[in-house]
Structure 1
Amino acid sequence: MANYTLEEKNGFTVLGIGTELKSDYTDYAGINKEKAEFWQAVNQDGTLDKLKSIAKNDYIFVVNEAVNNKMMHYAGVMTEESLPEASRAIQFPQGEYLVVKGEANTDEELSNKLTGIAFGEALPEASHVAYVGGPNTAVVMGERDGLIYGEMWIPVVRN
């Protein structure tokens, strides 16, 4: 049984710098490789640091969203500002979210772990709600006792 909660959240916007994932949506190894290469690039070229410098808080948003029939993956922050490199202002709706909490050794491991639990266990168990699309995000919130901690937020509607 997955450990999850349902929480009401205000709408919010994440400014994201993203990449299109070209692997088939069932090719988890391919998708994870593309995501890892993307995160390595934004860490090395200073893009993530630029985003962090205009953020309202210390959270890093790892966003997945279907846009114009493309699977998009973003590094983002909550901010009112903009950057020329930013590829999208991602609107998250006000409403109910399925939330899964967790911790891991790295940001990437946390995102993959939370995504797996949320979509593989929690959503199937939460039969009274459904994910109907829209952006979803793993939120890297900080470090505690040598581990990275955060949450997965998936907007849901009641069945």
Structure 2
Amino acid sequence: MEDYTVEEKDSFTVVGIGTELKSHYTDFAGINKEKSDFWQTLTQAGRLDALKAIATNDYMLAVNEAVNNKMMHYAGVITEATLPEATRVIHFPKGEYLIVKGEAETADELHHTLTDIAFGQVLPELGDFAYVGGPNASVEMGVQNGRVYGEMWIPIVKK
């Protein structure tokens, strides 16, 4: 089994810039390409730097959330500040979270890997808990020994 824990987290707020994912929810290759293209566009436009400037820490979050029956994906930071170009303020509730840790060569690879492990391996085997929706986030926390490391945060409830 992968490196994971269940932890209590205080509520927190993420300010994000988002996009609607158009691929079918089972088309993982299509979803991953849309996410990668979105992050590349944000980086080239300097919009990630604007987000980082208002962050309360060095974490960069890739947030997935269903909004009005649409699959949304956001680049975000934890903050109480606002940003004119932000498209959503995302509130994560206080409660228990599945935390999956990992590392990868790139931030993009980290986000895809953590999402695949959390939803494809850990959640299906997590007998006492269930994910019942709400925002979830892949969190890029830093670089160590040339590799990007981070965690996936998924709010869960006891069954």
Listed one character per residue, the Cα deviations across residues 79-131 of structure 1 (whole Å, up to 9, x for unaligned) are 11111110000010100000000000111100000000000111011110000
8 Å CA contact 2:3–2:102 kept in 1: the answer is no
Q: Which runs of 5+ in 1 are unaligned?
A: none
Equivalent residues of 1:55, 1:79 under 8 A apart:
yes
* Structure 2 residue 22 is the aligned partner of structure 1 residue 25: no
Offset of residue 139 of structure 1: 0.4
Q: Which residue of 2 aligns with 1:119?
A: 119
Q: Distance in 1 between matches of 2:67 and 2:51?
A: 21
**TM-score of the superposed pair, with normalisation by structure 2:** 0.99
Please list, as runs of the form range in 1=range in 2, the aligned pairs for 1:137-148 lying within 5 A after superposition. Answer: 137-148=137-148
Provide the C-alpha distance between the structure 2 equivalents of 1:33 and 1:150, rounded to a whole number of angstroms. Answer: 21
Match of 1:53 in 2: 53
Q: Aligned runs of 1:47-86 on 2, under 5 Å? A: 47-86=47-86
* Unaligned segments of structure 2, at least 5 residues: none
Cα offset for 1:143? 0.4
Give the count of matched residue pairs.
Answer: 159
- What one-letter code is carried by the residue in structure 2 that aligns with 1:145? N
Counterpart-to-counterpart distance in 2, 1:56 and 1:20: 26
Distance 1:3 1:105 in 2: 18
* AA of the residue aligned to 2:116: G
Task: Give the structure 1 partner of residue 100 of structure 2.
Answer: 100
Q: Measure the CA separation in 2 of the matches of 1:129 and 1:29.
A: 28
Percentage of matched positions with identical amino acids: 67
| Partner SS state of residue 57, structure 2 | coil
